[in-house]
Chains A and B, each alone.
Chain A
Amino acid sequence: MEAKSIQFKRNAVEALDDPNLQAALKFAKDGFIGKRTAAVAQLPEWNSIRNDVRVMKNHVLDNLDHYLLAYEAAVLANGGVVHWAQTPEEATDIIATICTDMNAKTVAKGKSMVGEEVDLNAALEKAGVVPIETDLGEYIIQLADEPPSHIIAPAIHKTKEQVTGLFHEHHRQYGLHEKITDRAGLVAEARQVLREKFLTADVGITGANFLVAETGQHVLVTNEGNGDLSSVLPDTHIVIAGIEKVVPNLDDASALLRLLARSATGQHFSNYTSFISGPRRAGDTDGPKRFHVVLVDNKRTEMLGNELRDMLRCFRCGACLNHCPVYGSVGGHAYGWVYSGPMGAVVSPVMIGLENAPDLPHACTLNGRCSEVCPMSIPLPSLLRRHRQATFERQLVSNASRYGLTFWAALATRPRLYQLFTQSVIILLSRLGRRRGYFKRLPLAGGWTRSRDLPAPQGKSTFMALYRQRRQSL
């Protein structure tokens, strides 16, 4: 998809004024946060597991080449094929070629954020292959022709009424004429339509939550079962995954799984957690006949080598989005690309270029709630500050804020001048507003005063001036 992150401010304002979106975000906030808190509280070992897993993932990142090679060798031994892609284009070319070589007409897709990242659907369509999203949320946004607005709940921005409308519009071809208005009915309708797609798809494409180097398995976590159906029914199964997804062994994957479902949906364990490897074995009566894995770099090695390395521990649970008050106010689409919320504000500028997303790292109050809930202990605010530093150094911030900051810094490093300046500002402000106690409007402070009054300073003097007077009078 074309990134629209450059217009973050405009997107955000539109989002705040969108009543459907605001209603949908309310559901999200009420659901996710409480369930996660309860699920975490029931696991007394939470922090200890969190610490072990951080250490384990750091060890993997330090040895990423070895674990990738071990995973590759295990996949080959299981009878699969491993492809490596440096860029989104390489990844989509590989997959489109596999599909066209199979004369594939339709592809059943399980939800994959890397698939979104490389814009896989567009590439498949270009190659004459019809991709069908099978995760209900992904299916809804595919009908709406929209990108996901949340990494685990892609259609979180849609209300039930909007889904009713989408099915009414798009399912006429399947004989649906009335409007389905209840949730259960909508789910049943999607089940029926997509069941046929699963059974007839030539290729299944899924993501992977983890890649297990010990066994060559990929781990697929869903609640709907769509990932498993996509991987077991079509003759060819293709997995697309970022290179950071590799973990050493099955026990390491288990530790991660204990954190994943609790962080994502507040479940102890997701409904379907499948460890899948290769094509069907001798004697098997179902399963794909061909199995491919596409390992995608797309700037991950760049992050591995710079100060954003911690971000590669991210396993896309969405807890940072759910707990971010900015995400909760504007939703995912405002961020303008496939990833949103705190993790998106770190990852998107790397993948689409900081110059195309200069506002994202700044659209955060650095309140730290994201890193507090992050199961992988990623210091998100610090990583956002790294990006901010780059926006400052690369002059990607407005001149007004740049010069303002430079002027302020020049004062703040000269205490005597600073105190003279602040004292004169206070005299001015107190003349203007002290009687009333606040300002409704003030030049240069429009951002503040559009929605709140600016309290006037308490008196005619700064603390430092008063303190000096008091000391002199002693």
Chain B
Amino acid sequence: MNNKPKVGLFVTCLVDLYRPNVGFAAIALLEKSGCEVVVPETQTCCGQPAFNNGDRASTIKIAKQTIEAFSGFDYIVAPSGSCAGMLKHHYPELLMDQTQWSDRASEFATRVFELTCFLVDIMSIDLSQTRFDSSVTYHDSCSGLRELNIKAQPRQLLGNIDGVSLNEMEDTEVCCGFGGTFCVKFPEISERMVSDKVALVEQSGADVLTGGDLGCLLNISGRLNRMASPIRVYHVAEILAGMIDEPAIGEPTSTNTQP
């Protein structure tokens, strides 16, 4: 019991608000891979809304708070490439000039992983008991792809699940138009980008769209829904954990059960 790696789950604000199921799926997967998982209560958000809108001072405060909250864990794992990239790459950059923090941020960064990378590159997980009978297409979220090289890991994990067939869409590495606050600041441009993405998702012929970042998935699912598309959207952690009893993202609740 004691030699289990101790993982602090960085929930991410969107999972916290919109899709708790992803957080529980992440816990299930991490525990299954042999980790002990704790969710520190003093976490909020990784700080990207402030960072990407130029509020450096607030971002630095949030960065320090997050580093504090996750001291004492062997690993910090997030079900998001974008937030993990923020913790891993941008925190050290932001705190570079602060003597008492720069080493700490760099050391912290070495312990940060995105969920699917962690499950493939650090741990190993047996998904042979999981089943998901669907054709799936995977959207590569930009930050995860380009800051953390997430590409093969989620596909490898999906490939280990019985019943999944992967239908790659064209231009899977092209941005969906979410971009955090971009999508509300430039709604018309964002609409064009998400429309292009949705067209490619539909061309792929898959029944399910999945990905590793809830922001992108909310964006694409919102557009699919508006276009009355039957394609269902799940975070990749939900599929990998077999936790797909919940309505897909943007679907109505069919029963009154509490998650």
Contacts and interface: CB of A to CB of B under 8 A. Distances in A.
A and B touch in the complex (CB under 8 A): yes
Interface of A: 9, 12-13, 16, 325-326, 329-330, 362-369, 371-372, 385, 387-393, 397, 401, 405-406, 408-409, 411-413, 415, 418-419, 422, 425-426, 434-438, 445-448, 450-464, 466-468
A426 B20 CA distance: 11
Contact of B58 (A397, A409, A460): A409
B33 interface: no
Interface stretch (B157-165, B201-209, B250-258): B250-258
B253 A325 contact: no
Contacts of A460: 258
A362 B61 contact: no
A458 B182 contact: no
Interface string B172-204: 011101111111111111111111100000000
A453 B183 contact: no
B246 to A, nearest CB: 6
A392 B143 CA distance: 23
A437 B253 contact: yes
Contacts of A467: 20, 23, 39
A413 B187 CA distance: 28
B218 interface: yes
A369 B55 contact: no
Interface stretch (B11-19, B105-113, B118-126): B11-19
Contacts of B194: 451-452
A367 B146 CA distance: 8
Contact of A16 (B17, B43, B65, B189): B189
Contacts of B56: 389, 392
Contacts of A392: 53-56
A470 to B, nearest CB: 8
Interface in B131-172: 142-143, 146-147
12 contacts: A326-B189, A362-B182, A401-B181, A405-B58, A451-B191, A452-B219, A458-B19, A458-B21, A458-B259, A462-B20, A463-B23, A464-B11
Contacts of A325: 174-175, 177, 193, 196
Contacts of B16: 422, 462-464
Given A412-B47, A415-B69, A453-B225, 7 more contacts: A362-B53, A367-B174, A388-B54, A409-B61, A447-B185, A452-B226, A459-B258
A181 B185 CA distance: 41
A459 B259 contact: yes
Interface string B229-259: 0000000000000000011011111000011
B250 A369 contact: no
B221 interface: yes
Contacts of A454: 218, 222
Given A12-B186, A450-B187, A457-B17, A405 B49 contact: yes
Contact of B192 (A329, A461, A468): A329
Contact of B253 (A363, A435, A461): A435
Contacts of A366: 52, 142-143, 179-180, 182
Given A365-B178, A367-B142, A411-B44, A458 B20 contact: yes
B44 A418 contact: yes
B68 to A, nearest CB: 10
A438 B226 CA distance: 10
Contacts of A464: 11, 16, 39, 41
Contacts of B50: 405, 408-409, 412
Contact of B225 (A390, A391, A409, A455): A455
A389 B225 CA distance: 35
A401 B62 contact: no
Interface of B: 11, 13, 15-21, 23-24, 39, 41-45, 47, 49-56, 58, 61-62, 65, 69, 142-143, 146-147, 173-175, 177-196, 218-219, 221-223, 225-226, 246-247, 249-253, 258-259
B41 A448 contact: no
A365 B196 CA distance: 15
Contacts of A371: 146
A365 B251 contact: no
Contacts of B49: 405, 408
Most buried by A among B173, B182, B219: B182
A363 B62 contact: no
B189 A329 contact: yes
A448 B187 contact: yes
Contact of B53 (A329, A388, A437, A458): A388
A415 B65 contact: yes
Contacts of B253: 434-435, 437
Contact of B249 (A411, A455, A461): A455
A51 to B, nearest CB: 18
A364 B218 contact: no
Contacts of A425: 17
Contacts of A363: 182, 185-186, 189
Q: 8 tightest A-B contacts by CB?
A: A365-B179, A392-B54, A452-B222, A447-B184, A455-B250, A367-B142, A437-B252, A409-B58
A455 B22 CA distance: 15
Given A385-B54, A405-B50, A413-B58, A453 B184 contact: no
Contact of A391 (B54, B192, B226, B247): B54
Contacts of B15: 463
A415 B146 contact: no
Contact of A415 (B41, B189, B226): B41
A368 B141 CA distance: 11
Contacts of B146: 367-369, 371-372
B62 A409 contact: yes
